Amino acid sequence: MRIIRRFQRPKKEEIGNKANERIFAPELRLIDEKGEHLGVFSKEEALRLAREKGLDLVEISPKENPPIAKFLDFGKFKYEKEKEMRKQKAHAKQVEVKGVRLSLKISIGDISVREGQAIKFLEAGDKARIEMILRGRERAHGALAAEIINNFVKNLGEKIKIRTEQPLTRQDGKLMTIITKM
């Protein structure tokens, strides 16, 4: 016997406002489409007034006593709310972890270039992963590699306020630490 499972789509997130018959409060404080306060009405009377005007009754502030409802075009209201949420989501900054790679034989000039890169990443609001990969015989000099990374982080700390998000760790031939701006 074969088992059949049907895929069910997750329901789309609804905007938290209730409209028309979905409002459960027995009494509502009404505001008309122009924003004028009309007073406290029963739910049935408010629904009748909304239908006469050809609009929907939308619960704006459900936590008030009695809840506040307004005459609106509910479809337009939902569209505006979703548009606002999409705009907020687009402007939200995603924090990324940017990498700065050092080597055991790095020169002083290259270190200053890498410090500039790290400062640029931190100023942009991102985290910086300082890493060093040891190859071949370099693996025997883990202490020297840790010292180079610690000096690099200390020099960065003198130029910009930083906080260590992840302390220096060693995994096989790779040393790594993550820092962020305070």
CA distance 139 to 104: 10
CATH class as words, domain 20-81: alpha beta
Full-model pTM: 0.54
**What gap in Å lies between CA 63 and CA 48, rounded to an integer?**
23
Tokens 């096989």 appear where? 172
| Residue extent(s) of CATH 3.10.20.80 domains in the chain | 20-81
Residue 93: DSSP 8-state: P
Adjacency order of strands within the sheet including 174-181: 97-102, 127-133, 174-181, 162-171
Q: Hey, CA dihedral for 103, 107, 113, 119, is it positive or negative? A: positive
- Distance set, CA 129 to CA 32, 47, 111, 122, 182 (Å): 56, 59, 15, 10, 15
Tens-binned pLDDT, residue by residue, of the chain (182 aa)? 677 777 776 665 455 788 888 888 899 999 988 889 999 999 999 999 999 999 999 998 888 888 999 999 988 988 999 999 999 888 887 888 999 999 999 999 999 999 999 999 999 999 999 999 999 999 999 999 999 999 999 999 999 999 999 999 999 899 999 999 98
Q: Where in the chain is the domain with CATH 3.30.110.10?
A: 97-181
Q: Which fold has domain 97-181?
A: Translation Initiation Factor IF3 (3.30.110)
Are 168 and 140 spatial neighbours (Cβ–Cβ below 8 Å)? no
Residue ranges in the chain assigned as alpha helix (H): 43-53, 74-91, 108-123, 142-159
